[in-house]
A and B are shown apart, each in its own frame.
Chain A
Amino acid sequence: MKVTKEGWAIVSILVKHKEQLKLTLKYLLVSLFLILFNYIYSLFAHGVSSNYMSRAYLIPLIGGGLLSLIMLAFNNLTDLAKHLWDMGLTTLVVGSLLHGVFDIYGSESSFVKIFFIVGILLLFISIIVYFNDSKKSKN
């Protein structure tokens, strides 16, 4: 089988950006899982749904998309910044799903806001770490 020039170019890009592609794929899979989770949950929810649950997939989709873009554009993300971003997104997703569970059950919980506060806080810390690390590497 003969591989064209364009084919080799794609393969070289894939190899070069292997890590970024892996990351993008991970977030896409998590988003798909959340869509599926919402669908299955809705089958047992007796006609009641929650925006928090049905739109939870947007968190890894947007959050993961941003991270992938930064990695593709600058490729200067440290592990710590990445992990903090991951932790933030995970916390927001769990909080969103919990909010959805309470919405569908018809109740409320004061604990849910903790997930949102901690999640957003972690995202902020991740951004601070990212800029701090970028500054250090420039110096």
Chain B
Amino acid sequence: MKQKSKLLLIYNIILFLFTGFVLLYEFVIPHGGYVIDDPEIVIEAPSEELIYPGTIPSTLQSGTVIGTYTSDYMIITIYQIRAYSSNVYVADVVVSDAQLILSALAYNSFGGSNVTQTVSEMATDHDAIFAINADYASHYNEGFVIKNGKILRSSASGRDAAVLYKDGSFNSLTESDSNINDILDDGAWQLWSFGPVLIKNGVSVASVNDGLQRSAANNPRSAIGYVDTNHFMFVTVDGRSTSSTGVDIEELADIMASLNCTEAYNFDGGGSATMWFDNEVVNNPSEGDERGVGDCVYISKA
């Protein structure tokens, strides 16, 4: 073999090996990250009996109740409804204190790559009654992250974030126009950076023409909605199957609006969309099995 052809062969082998390394490093090999301790929160016992505020949205009244959990601190009801040729699972959650809504990280680790756990595993590890996949914050290199009242990343991304405050209120904001320390000073308890925003100030702002291709396609979805102080709707939509097509981002906003949400925000979807309640996965994740994700939102038994 000629010397120069040998050079080509050796180079191609090196290129092949390096490409393999990049793919393994980015998609398979867990690396990096640091451990975050779970928060030590003390929730005061409510002085009054917790009652469901207002009336149940008509969309849910026509659905099927598939689980309930009631305590002095929370009222959780899981419904299954049908919308846009898809199975939709709704967790109607009322809590006495917004700090009962917690974030769990895969292996309590943040900032690494391919460090993932299923929502079920994280929920079980944290003695949860309810859990849903969240924004998979460690999937990106940039973007605000506040979990359980702690800033984990302060570099702004071009995305809009959603913030749950300790007082039970909720809003969305543009990261590049905001200062994360100010947000924390305002009492932020959780901040999610994924999006897009579905509903803001009672108006649907979702658009399939938002420049994100994933917004326009019918896909499995997860979302959080805010009804009123300490009253939230967590939604998971099944998709990519013959029985459940999934929804685009405008349809998801319509679903959230039908649940009386005045604020709503899209979480990571696709194969990640998972809702878990009382030791069982409630929905049908599109890949058949649960996909490992970087984080989830959960509510502990209390």
Give the interface of A toward B (CB within 8 A): 46-49, 79-80, 83, 86-87, 90-91, 94, 98, 101-102, 105-109, 111-112
Contacts and interface: CB of A to CB of B under 8 A. Distances in A.
A87 B15 CA distance: 9
A107 B217 contact: no
B26 interface: yes
A83 B5 contact: yes
Contacts of A102: 26
Contact of B213 (A47, A80, A107, A109): A47
A99 to B, nearest CB: 11
Contacts of B5: 79, 83
Interface residues of B, number: 25
A105 B27 CA distance: 10
A46 B7 CA distance: 40
B153 interface: no
B201 interface: no
B301 interface: no
Interface in B1-56: 2, 4-5, 7-8, 11-12, 15, 19, 22-23, 25-27
A91 B8 CA distance: 12
Nearest to A107: B139
Contacts of B216: 47
B22 A108 contact: no
Contacts of B150: none
Contacts, number: 53
10 contacts: A46-B270, A47-B214, A48-B213, A49-B213, A83-B8, A87-B8, A87-B11, A98-B19, A102-B26, A106-B214
A90 B12 contact: yes
B25 A80 contact: no
A122 to B, nearest CB: 9
A94 B8 contact: no
B244 to A, nearest CB: 14
Nearest to A118: B15
Given A47-B216, A48-B214, A79-B2, A106 B139 contact: yes
Contact of A111 (B15, B25, B270): B25
Instruction: Say what secondary structure dominates the interface of chain A.
Output: helix
Nearest to A101: B23
Contacts of B214: 46-48, 106
Contact of B22 (A46, A79, A90, A98): A98
A102 B140 CA distance: 11
B139 A83 contact: no
A49 B216 CA distance: 12
B240 A46 contact: yes
Nearest to A110: B141
B141 A108 contact: yes
Contacts of A86: 8
Interface string B161-173: 0000000000000
Given A90-B15, A107-B26, A47 B219 contact: yes
Nearest to B219: A46
A91 B18 CA distance: 11
Given A47-B218, A80-B4, A98-B22, 16 more contacts: A46-B219, A46-B240, A47-B217, A83-B4, A83-B5, A83-B7, A87-B11, A87-B12, A90-B15, A94-B15, A101-B23, A105-B27, A107-B26, A107-B139, A111-B25, A111-B26
A114 to B, nearest CB: 8
A123 to B, nearest CB: 14
Nearest to A50: B213
